[in-house]
């Protein structure tokens, strides 16, 4: 008889639904009013957008295997948010330039990560952590903690506002859905995606099969940091302000969202749909704990425990299938 198993993305989404329904039982929760519940659900999805976009790059490097991880993502988010803030300076016509600069700068940082990992044989953990330190130090040296700039009105309109007064769907959510489709196409319908899963399963076999493993590694880390740069661009468009540590709070959740979404941390298997579901779950848990007025230390403990439990469940399901 076939055993019934849930795919990780579906399991993560079901968990999000259960948590949201249970939140109505909290004294300061969302209550039973339907309109209030819809408004809160929409807000949670909107907040999930930025974590989900930043976690996209983590999804790629983790799928690529070889202990892939990008600990420089938080620093890249901060850097690109600052660059966007400074370049735009309130001018709508400079928004596309700021977006391009964010993507290019992120890609350059990622390329150096990939080069160090590929050619210098530095472990991904050490290389990306070191790059995070370099980028953070550069931000402090260049700006001395004082950043002058302003976001453009069009950024606020397209990122932080709903579609229209009559349609309360956030524009950021629409951007994320389009982004999710593009990520699905990249992973499932391109040669790059096929080669990415291949090197995640076995790099030696992939190389013998004609896959340019070194080139894939460079491209993956460059693309991952470029996506983190895009996340920084969106984040500053939503907040309207920048901080020296703006992206740091997204580092651990971006890795956790990938794991909660069912992507194997050893590489070779995963999906961005799962990462999106993981981002929603983590944002919802954080929102619930904030509503319960839990301190930051307790929120971190709960997020870590949730990650361990879900990874254990996914590991058990893989064992059953095998």
- What percentage of the chain has pLDDT greater than the value 90? 43
Confidence band for 9, pLDDT divided at 50, 70 and 90: low
The whole-angstrom separation of Cα 170 and Cα 210 is 44
Averaged pLDDT of the chain: 83
**73-82, 257-266, 292-301, range with the lowest pLDDT:** 292-301
The single-letter DSSP state of residue 11 is H
Can you give the pLDDT at residue 190? 94
CATH number, domain of 189, equals 1.10.3470
Can you give the pLDDT at residue 25? 45
User: Which one of 102-106, 155-159, 245-249, 272-276 scores highest in mean pLDDT?
Assistant: 102-106
Can you give the pLDDT at residue 215? 94
Residue 193 lies in a domain: yes
Residue 1 lies in a domain: no
Residue 115 lies in a domain: yes
**In the predicted model, is pLDDT for residue 92 greater than 60?**
yes
Residue 2 lies in a domain: no
The tens digit of pLDDT for each residue in 136-163 reads: 888 888 776 677 888 889 998 888 888 7
The single-letter DSSP state of residue 3 is P
**In the predicted model, is pLDDT for residue 48 greater than 80?**
yes
Structural domain count of the chain: 1
Encoding tokens for residue 49? 């957008």
Question: DSSP letters of 80-148?
Answer: HHHHHHHHHTT-GGGHHHHHHHHHHHHHHHHHHHHHHHHTS---HHHHHHHHHHHHHHHHHHHHTT---
Confidence band for 50, pLDDT divided at 50, 70 and 90: very high
Write the burial class of residue 31 (CB in 10 Å: 0-12 exposed, 13-18 middle, 19+ buried). middle
Q: Please give the average per-residue pLDDT across 175-185, as a whole number.
A: 94
Q: Match 């950043």 to its residue by tokens.
A: 147
Encoding tokens for residue 29? 């929760």
The tens digit of pLDDT for each residue in 59-70 reads: 999 999 888 899
Residue 54 lies in a domain: yes
**9-13, 101-105, 135-139, 190-194, range with the lowest pLDDT:** 9-13
The whole-angstrom separation of Cα 247 and Cα 244 is 8
Domain holding 180, by residue range, is: 8-321
The single-letter DSSP state of residue 161 is S
Residue 3 lies in a domain: no
């Amino acid at each position: 008889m076939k055993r019934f198993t849930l795919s990780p993305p579906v399991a993560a989404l079901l968990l999000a639904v259960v948590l949201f329904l249970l939140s109505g039982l909290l004294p300061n929760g969302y209550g039973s009013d339907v309109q209030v519940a819809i408004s809160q659900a929409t807000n949670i999805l909107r907040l999930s957008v930025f974590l989900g976009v930043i976690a996209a790059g983590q999804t790629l490097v983790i799928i690529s295997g070889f202990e892939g991880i990008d600990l420089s993502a938080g620093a890249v988010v901060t850097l690109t948010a600052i660059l966007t803030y400074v370049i735009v300076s309130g001018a709508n016509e400079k928004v596309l330039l700021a977006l391009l600069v964010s993507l290019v700068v992120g890609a350059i940082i990622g390329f150096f990560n990939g080069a160090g990992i590929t050619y210098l044989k530095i472990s991904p953990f050490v290389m990306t952590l070191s790059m995070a330190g370099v980028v953070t130090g550069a931000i402090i040296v260049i700006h001395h903690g004082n950043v002058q700039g302003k976001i453009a009105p069009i950024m606020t309109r397209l990122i932080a506002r709903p579609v229209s007064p009559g349609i309360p769907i956030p524009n950021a959510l629409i951007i994320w859905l389009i982004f999710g489709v593009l990520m699905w196409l990249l992973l499932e319908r391109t040669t790059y995606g096929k080669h990415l899963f291949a090197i995640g399963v076995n790099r030696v076999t992939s190389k013998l099969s004609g896959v340019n493993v070194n080139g894939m590694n460079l491209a993956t880390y460059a693309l991952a940091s470029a996506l983190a740069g895009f996340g920084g661009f969106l984040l500053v468009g939503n907040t309207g302000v920048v901080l020296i540590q703006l992206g740091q709070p997204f580092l651990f959740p971006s890795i956790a969202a990938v794991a909660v979404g069912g992507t194997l941390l050893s590489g070779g298997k995963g999906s961005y749909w799962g990462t999106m579901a993981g981002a929603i779950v983590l944002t919802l848990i954080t929102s619930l704990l904030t509503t319960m007025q839990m301190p930051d230390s307790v929120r971190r403990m709960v997020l870590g425990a949730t990650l361990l439990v879900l990874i254990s469940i996914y590991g058990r399901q893989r064992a059953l299938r095998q």
